[in-house]
Amino acid sequence: MMKKEGENRFWLGLTLGVMLMGSFLTGAWIDRISGLGFLDAVVGERVLQSRIGEEKVARTREIVKEESTVIKVVEEATVGVVTVSISKVRVTTDPFLGLNDFWGQFFGTPRGQPGLKEEKIEQDIGTGFVIDADGLMVTNKHVVGDREAKYKVVVGKDEVVDVKDIYRDPVTDLAILKVDRSGLTALPLGDSDKLKVGQGVIAIGTALGEFRSTVTTGVISGLGRGITAGSPFEGSEKLDNVIQTDAAINPGNSGGPLLDFSGEVIGVNVAVSASGQNIGFALPINLVKESIDNFKSTGEFDRPYLGVAYRIVSKQSAILNEVPQGAYVEEVGESSPADKAGVEKGDIITEIDGVKLSEEEETSLATIINRHKMGDEIVLRVWRDEKEKVFRVKLEKRVE
């Protein structure tokens, strides 16, 4: 009896020991699995953080590279950018001067014309940039539009140089300034035909006519735009195929360079939208290069001249009004080639030398005329009073 009880106790103890050992091993295995899961989670988190860190590093490097590029371009280009200043005498009316003149005359000492006051104006009004080391610079025609005024340019930080000659392009909003100064830094000119929307650009100019060498950056927002630029004081001018950018541009930037990230001038800043923010425009540099080449070969801006003011009749307008597509003549210049040939206000010029006119740049009236030289004879096909007429016109030199 005692022996049996001892055996039962032995087997009970053995069973409990096995159960305890199993529990221990099971717990250890579970802990092992949990440990592996925790380790995997830690490793995964570290890998994720590593990837995020690499992306941040790559992005930081990209930003630093872009900033370095802009800084390099600005340092190299700023020496070739100039500020254009105006100097003139403005006559204003002052009622107190009339009173002084009255008493002066009363005491027998006349003091000039009553009520008129002369005021000398000297201020920065725009920007330009050097295109030839021997003193040639480009700016906008509207910047130097006052023919009674005198102009100066500020080279570098504070060197003031008188403008000796101004050559204004009668077709585009461009002017070339000549100064008696050599050893200037000419900016390299790029190729505006290769521009892409979204491409980074840099503008340098005298912001608001006050802050010289102001730098702004942005991208090309659009290409081939058509705008009407000007002001109530300067008149307006239709500009075709201009570059749109969101780089900050204001009236003081007019005539300054728009550069790409390689440091080449790809446009001349010309206008800013009065009704929207971050909308500026620049003349494409290839247009400027044509004018510069023409100027250097002839000494002036010689352009063939037809002598009509017009607006394009679009395809849609032509269909709606049952008229042909072409250039609707709004005005004919007196004694102009068109006037001499018999072209009249209200005519629609449909073809030039067999090329049909359209809204496209390549087949616009201005583009076709500018392909010719002074003295060339062209054939105009004109729609008038529901009939077609043909005129032969000899192109002449345009007189401003």
- In the chain, what are the domains? 192-298 (2.40.10.10), 304-397 (2.30.42.10)
Mean pLDDT lowest among 17-21, 315-319, 384-388: 17-21
Q: Give the number of other Cβ atoms within 10 Å of residue 109's Cβ.
A: 9
Rounded Cα distance, 324 and 342, in Å: 20
Q: Assess whether 124 carries a catalytic annotation.
A: no
Phi then psi dihedrals of residue 79, to 5 deg: -65, -20
What beta strand segments (E) does 43-169 contain?
81-93, 116-132, 136-139, 150-155, 159-168
Look at the pTM and tell me if it is higher than 0.75: no
Q: Which two tokens stand for residue 100?
A: 């002084």
The single residue of 254, 291, 336, 364 carrying the catalytic annotation is 254
Which has the higher per-residue pLDDT, 46 or 122?
122
Q: Assess whether 372 carries a catalytic annotation.
A: no
Q: Which two tokens stand for residue 322?
A: 């049952």
Q: Mean of the pLDDT values across residues 35-54?
A: 56
Q: Do 364 and 358 meet the contact criterion of CB atoms below 8 Å apart?
A: yes
Give the model confidence (pLDDT) of 312-336 as tens digits.
Answer: 888 888 888 889 999 999 899 888 8
Give the model confidence (pLDDT) of 345-356 as tens digits.
Answer: 999 999 999 999
Say what the pLDDT of residue 346 is: 93
Rounded Cα distance, 373 and 126, in Å: 32
Query: At 12, is the pLDDT very low, low, confident or very high (cuts 50, 70, 90)?
Result: low
Q: Which two tokens stand for residue 353?
A: 């030398």
Amino acid code (one letter) for 48: L
Rounded Cα distance, 82 and 125, in Å: 11
Give the model confidence (pLDDT) of 222-275 as tens digits.
Answer: 887 766 655 433 444 567 678 999 888 888 888 999 999 999 999 999 876 656
Rounded Cα distance, 108 and 293, in Å: 62
The single residue of 85, 101, 142, 169 carrying the catalytic annotation is 142
Q: Give the number of other Cβ atoms within 10 Å of residue 331's Cβ.
A: 12
Q: Assess whether 142 carries a catalytic annotation.
A: yes
Using DSSP, state whether 148 is helix, strand or coil.
Answer: coil
Using DSSP, state whether 325 is helix, strand or coil.
Answer: coil
The single residue of 101, 169, 173, 347 carrying the catalytic annotation is 173
Say what the pLDDT of residue 68 is: 84
Q: 181: burial class by Cβ within 10 Å (0-12, 13-18, 19+)? A: middle
Which has the higher per-residue pLDDT, 379 or 43?
379
